[in-house]
Amino acid sequence: MTLVLAGTVAVLYAVGTYLLLQRTLTRIVIGLALLGHGANLLLLLAGGPPGEPPLVGEATSGVVSDPLPQAMALTAIVITFGVLAFLLALAYRSWAVSRNDEVEDDVEDRRVAAGKRASVHDEEVGQ
Amino acid sequence: MPAALLGLHAVVALAAPIAARRLGRRVLLLCAVAPATATVWALLHASAVVGRGEAVDVHVAWVPTAGLNGDFRLDAFALLMVLLVSGIGTLIFGYAAAYFPATKRDVGGFAAWLTIFAGAMLGLVLADNVILVFVFWELTSITSFMLIGTNHREAASRSAATQALLTTGAGGLALLGGLVVLAEAAGTYSLSGLLTAPPGGEAAAWGIALVLVGAFTKSAQVPFHAWLPAAMAAPTPVSAYLHSATMVKAGVYVIARFAPAFALLPAWRPLVVGVGVATMIVGGYRALRQHDAKLLLAYGTVSQLGFMVVMFGLGTPDATFAATTLIVAHGLFKGALFMVVGAVDVQTGTRDIRELSGLRHRMPVAFSVSCVAAASMAGLPPLLGFIAKEAAYEGVLAGELGLTGPLAVTGIVVGSALTVAYSLRFVRGVFAGPRAAAVVPRERLILVAPAALLSAASLLMGVAPLLVDALVNAAATAAHPEWETYHLSLWHGLTVALGLSAVAVAGGAALHASRARVERWQAAAPRAPSASGGYDATWRGVLAVARRTTGVVQNGSLPLYLMVILLTAVTLPGAVLVADGEWPTATYTIGSWLQIGICLLAAAAATTIAFASRRFTAVLLLGAVGYSVAALFVLHGAPDLALTQMLIETLSLVIFVLVLRHLPSRFGHRPQRIDRVVRFSTAALVGLAVFAFSLVTAGARTAAPVSQEYVARALPEGHGRNIVNVILVDFRALDTLGEIVVLVTAALGISSLVVAGRLSRHERRASAGDST
């Protein structure tokens, strides 16, 4: 268990979270990518001590790293990439349509929070 | 066979809307086939079930381990209920066909819902699995909602339907909870099994209390009774069927089933008898104030339901027998009275007893039918209602009931006196008085015929109780095994019961004679807190609390929502992590110099991203982090991962650049709703939690890894030396297939988003060209 690796995972998570709490869509996407890197490292870290690559018949010493977390992390890398690309396409579309790449407040929620009736339908029922 | 009957109801209900296009309102006659078949089926089994006391059991295993089975049981009590539900149901369908004008809209939909209700009610009384009981119970609530809301263009109908659904629906949830608690305590989900070996202990007591709450809401007991008078917004056939003869008796039915097994629990009798007596008196008192004949009957139903709850709730053999007689008598006279009210409404256009006058001349058949039914309701000889009431007095007097005995007797006498008074008020109000000036068309016999049948049955069974004697005795034995056959008869000699009956009738007659004074007194009496007011207040309160909570929790800021989720994720597992306090004993090393260098690089690059003001800088730094991670993979002994990471990182960079060239180079500067310090602290907390988590996971690795098996089988079975690859394409190939599906889905989404974006730009250019 290498402490410096655990520290790196923590930093990646912290910065990723910080960026995720922003308004700008680009920052959010980058934050998600950082969280993905952190998660992949964490998978590996949780999957046992480092060792030689898990290849049959190639090991020279006795210590071989666990292949299963690696398979999981590999899947995770690819999936994260798919999500990332999709989010970027969303950001692109948002820009193309409204010249805006920011996450807006939910209008309906703001109305409720301001103490107004949620919608026209509700008012009709209330009468 | 029960399943086939239910299937028949479902098929008929599905066919009704289609058939209605050709048949119009006559589709209701077609639908009557379903309940008629059920009635015939029950009658065919009568000799075995009633005569020899057997029970027809049908067991269809579905998920036995979870107690979910299609168990049905036709014992004598269920048979009596089937005859009420399906027998009266058949008459109601015929009545409805005459009741509605030929031009009624959507008669097919109405017929379908009424048929579904008939099926659900049939299923409810036949079900022998507690979950099945709940399912049918809920189905009757839902169909009741749809049927009350038949005239959904009127606000009153809509709110009445909602009130009925919310009240009985909440009770249904209580019932489900109670049934599951009882079934778990008893170790069986079979209703008959549960009742033959009732569980004891505290859990069972809570379970039975919840079941009672469900029964009280469904059977409109105080303080949940307000929905039933409101439900009179439904068309009269619905009121006659659901809200007097059958559905409201579902709660009574459940109490009838559970009382013999649980009546000896200390709280049962005071609770059930107290609620029942209160309901009897409140219902009767309110009935005396009503001017709408249908509402008068509705409050009368509330009162009678209280009566039945008292009798079944006592749980003694004698009281159960009396209640069984009462449930038959009530079905007959209340069904008839409602149908008469509907006929009067159709013929005169009003149900207000202040406007109706002299109808006994214009509607003589309806008048005589009403007289018989109301007399049965008031408990006058020689009708079935009288016999039932006598049996009730005797049942209460025979049992050793402690203090609940006198309470029940007093309640029944007072309630019966009120019943006599409102029965007189009904007949007098609707039919008496001088001939009205308004011309009433000739009586339509087809509208009165079903009511006449029911009233005739009341009379015949009163004069010759032998007709119903065997059925009621067998049903009482099925509901309460200790009951020994006792023959119903009109004359028992000069007994205490007869005296109590006389007192009640005299009291009721006196109340009616001084009705003007009673009405003045009722108007002057301080208004008790009304149950419908309680319902309205609850409804408004729930909405207000929901609105306020939503306003605080959902203030519209997406980052805030995210922060709540993140902090929850940190706090709950973090608290467990700290509270458990077992720090792992794994050996921790700092790492090699090379590793430290790469880690520092990655951390520095990541931290700088947070402060970057240009998009491009941020993306390049992200690339630096990605390649550093790839290097760390190599050091960890994962070359495949490193390779994938390099490729993906490069691809990501390309896509980022493709998108970013459209966006401005700097990030925007809109103010955030959450303070920077709060965001920073949240991020730091998440980082800390992940750090602690990674330390613990390393130490938690104590068992032999699963992957040893993969390592051993990679070459001989997967024919590959690279174990990671073999896992991905061989052992866990389905996972990889899922991964590919995700990628394809993302690709489809991306391409459509990009193409759509292009189109819109193209269109914008086109529209710009138009305007110039």
Minimum CA–CA partner of A4 in chain B = B590
φ/ψ of B734, rounded to 5, equals -65, -40
For the residues B32-41, what does the mean pLDDT come to? Answer: 95
Nearest CA-CA distance, residue B741 and chain A, Å: 10
Contacts of B651 in chain A (CB under 8 A): 81
Among candidates A5, A17, A65 on the partner chain, residue whose Cβ is nearest the Cβ of B683: A17
pLDDT tens for residues B456-495? 999 999 998 888 899 999 999 999 988 888 888 888 778 8
pLDDT tens for residues A56-97? 887 777 788 889 999 999 999 999 999 999 999 988 888 888
CB spacing of B638 vs A70 below 8 angstroms: yes
Nearest CA-CA distance, residue A26 and chain B, Å: 8
Nearest CA-CA distance, residue B627 and chain A, Å: 10
Q: What is the pTM of this model?
A: 0.76
Residue of B81, B568, B127 whose CA lies nearest to B328: B81
Minimum CA–CA partner of A106 in chain B = B556
Residue of B453, B245, B239 whose CA lies nearest to B341: B239
For the residues B413-423, what does the mean pLDDT come to? Answer: 95
CB spacing of A6 vs B668 below 8 angstroms: no
Band the pLDDT of A127: cuts 50, 70, 90: very low
Among candidates A24, A79, A101 on the partner chain, residue whose Cβ is nearest the Cβ of B739: A79
Nearest CA-CA distance, residue B157 and chain A, Å: 13
CB spacing of A73 vs B672 below 8 angstroms: no
- Spatial contact of B343 and B448, defined as CB atoms under 8 Å apart: yes
- Spatial contact of B82 and B126, defined as CB atoms under 8 Å apart: yes
Among A114-118, B43-47, B659-663, the range scoring the smallest mean pLDDT is: A114-118
Angle subtended at Cα B399 by Cα B393 and Cα B405, rounded to the nearest 5 degrees: 65
- Spatial contact of B293 and B353, defined as CB atoms under 8 Å apart: yes
Query: Residue B707 corresponds to which amino acid?
Result: S
Band the pLDDT of A122: cuts 50, 70, 90: very low
CA dist., res. B369 & res. B360, Å (int): 11
Nearest CA-CA distance, residue A100 and chain B, Å: 9
Nearest CA-CA distance, residue B117 and chain A, Å: 27
Query: Residue B688 corresponds to which amino acid?
Result: L
Tell me how far the alpha carbon of residue B243 is from its chain's centroid.
16
Minimum CA–CA partner of B702 in chain A = A48
For the residues B523-530, what does the mean pLDDT come to? Answer: 76
CA dist., res. B86 & res. B288, Å (int): 32
**Helix or strand run (H / E) with residue B383:** none
How many CA within 13 A on the CB side of residue B185? Answer: 20
CA dist., res. B504 & res. B283, Å (int): 16
Contacts of A21 in chain B (CB under 8 A): 559, 562-563, 674, 679, 682-683
Q: Say whether the peptide bond before residue B382 is cis (omega within 30 degrees of 0).
A: yes
Concatenated DSSP letters of B597-657: HHHHHHHHHHHHHHH--BHHHHHHHHHHHHHHHHHHHHHHT-HHHHHHHHHHHHHHHHHHH
Q: Which of residues 693-752 of B touch A (CB under 8 A)?
A: 693-695, 697-699, 701, 705-707, 710-711, 714-715, 720-724, 727-728, 732, 735-736, 739, 742-743, 745-747, 749-750
Band the pLDDT of A120: cuts 50, 70, 90: very low
Provide the pLDDT for residue B760: 56
Contacts of B628 (CB under 8 A, 6+ apart): B598, B599, B601, B602, B605
- Mean pLDDT for all residues in chain A: 83
Query: Residue B143 corresponds to which amino acid?
Result: T
Domain boundaries, chain B: 248-513, 572-670+678-702
CB spacing of A82 vs B714 below 8 angstroms: no
- Spatial contact of B429 and B355, defined as CB atoms under 8 Å apart: no
By CB atoms closer than 10 A (0-12, 13-18, 19+), residue B608 is middle
Domains defined for chain A, CATH in brackets: 3-51+66-124 (1.10.287.3510)
pLDDT at B583 over 80: no
Instruction: Name all contacts of A51-54 with Cβ < 8 Å and 24+ positions apart.
Output: A51/B637, A52/B637, A53/B637, A53/B638, A53/B639, A53/B640, A54/B637, A54/B711, A54/B722, A54/B723, A54/B724
Band the pLDDT of A117: cuts 50, 70, 90: low
- Mean pLDDT for all residues in chain B: 90
For residues A8-34, b (16+ Cβ closer than 10 Å) or e, as one string?
bbbbbbbbbbbbbbbbbbbbbbbbbbb
- Spatial contact of B434 and B357, defined as CB atoms under 8 Å apart: yes
For the residues B223-232, what does the mean pLDDT come to? Answer: 92
Minimum CA–CA partner of B749 in chain A = A86
> What would the two tokens of residue B66 be?
């979870």
Concatenated DSSP letters of A20-54: HTSSBHHHHHHHHHHHHHHHHHHHHHHT----B--
Q: What percent of chain B has pLDDT over 70?
A: 96
Band the pLDDT of B589: cuts 50, 70, 90: confident
Contacts of B552 in chain A (CB under 8 A): 113
For the residues B6-26, what does the mean pLDDT come to? Answer: 93
How many Cβ atoms from other residues are within 10 Å of residue B737's Cβ?
A: 9
pLDDT tens for residues B40-95? 999 999 989 988 888 889 998 888 888 889 999 999 999 999 999 999 999 999 99
Considering only residues B580 and B211, tell me which one the structure prediction assigns the higher pLDDT.
Answer: B211
Query: Residue B192 corresponds to which amino acid?
Result: S
pLDDT tens for residues B188-199? 999 999 999 999
Minimum CA–CA partner of A42 in chain B = B694
CB spacing of A89 vs B659 below 8 angstroms: yes
Residue of B418, B451, B399, B390 whose CA lies nearest to B283: B418
Nearest CA-CA distance, residue A3 and chain B, Å: 5
CA dist., res. B1 & res. B3, Å (int): 5
Among candidates B660, B687, B732 on the partner chain, residue whose Cβ is nearest the Cβ of A13: B687
CB spacing of A15 vs B667 below 8 angstroms: no
List Cα–Cα distances, B236 to B93, B226, B232, in angstroms.
12, 18, 8
Residue of B332, B278, B267, B329 whose CA lies nearest to B306: B278
For the residues B632-653, what does the mean pLDDT come to? Answer: 93
Q: Which of residues 377-396 of B touch A (CB under 8 A)?
A: none
Minimum CA–CA partner of B607 in chain A = A15
Report the SS3 class of residue B481: coil
pLDDT tens for residues A11-62? 999 999 999 998 888 899 999 999 999 999 999 888 888 888 888 887 777 7
Provide the pLDDT for residue A15: 96
CB spacing of B723 vs A55 below 8 angstroms: yes
Provide the pLDDT for residue B475: 93
pLDDT at B584 over 80: no
